[in-house]
Amino acid sequence: MDLTSKVRQLLEVALENYPELFLIDFKVGSDNSIRVVLDGDHGVSLQDCINVSRAVEHQLDREEEDFSLEVASVGVGTPLQNARQFIKNIGRKLKVEVLGNPPIQGTLIAADQKVFTVTWKQREPKPVGKGKITVEKKETLSYEHIANAKVII
């Protein structure tokens, strides 16, 4: 079994023990550098990273293969990639780049495994007369139709 498969299997077992955590990214470089990025339903603590790192590292033999292991939490400015990330960020402001449309900045009000809903205020021309009025917009989007979505801090 190659290192990538072995680490993937060890990560699956480790994350079963921590169901509030989930994998965002996992890479094994040509120099056997292993990089794991995690997120959690309630955030990721330093202890969570240590626990997952130990669960993986203690099952690998350095005599068999030399490696480096880095386990980190997802960064603040990192795009959302997973439905669980959208669900945990309900109520927060997002900037969503929709394929073929201008970006939307609004509040995430709902999310499930297939779609999410964003609401925002926008200025539009009055239906009668001159000037503009502020209207509340709401759009439900499928995850496949977005190019990028980030939490606005």
What's the CA gap between 98 and 48, in Å, rounded?
33
Domain boundaries, the chain: 3-73, 83-151
Taking the C-alpha atoms of residue 8 and residue 118, their distance in angstroms, rounded to an integer, is 34
Question: Taking the CB of residue 36, how many other CB atoms lie within 10 A of it?
Answer: 22
Domain at 83-151: CATH code: 2.30.30.100
Q: What is the CATH number of domain 3-73?
A: 3.30.300.70
What average pLDDT does this structure show over 122-144?
91
The pair of three-digit structure tokens given for residue 13, joined into one six-digit string: 């077992």
pLDDT in tens, 24-54: 999 999 998 999 999 999 989 999 999 999 9
Look at residue 120 in the predicted model and tell me its pLDDT.
Answer: 95
- Tens of pLDDT, residue by residue over 111-131, are 999 999 999 999 999 888 889
Give the angle 81-83-84 at the CA atoms, nearest 5°: 100
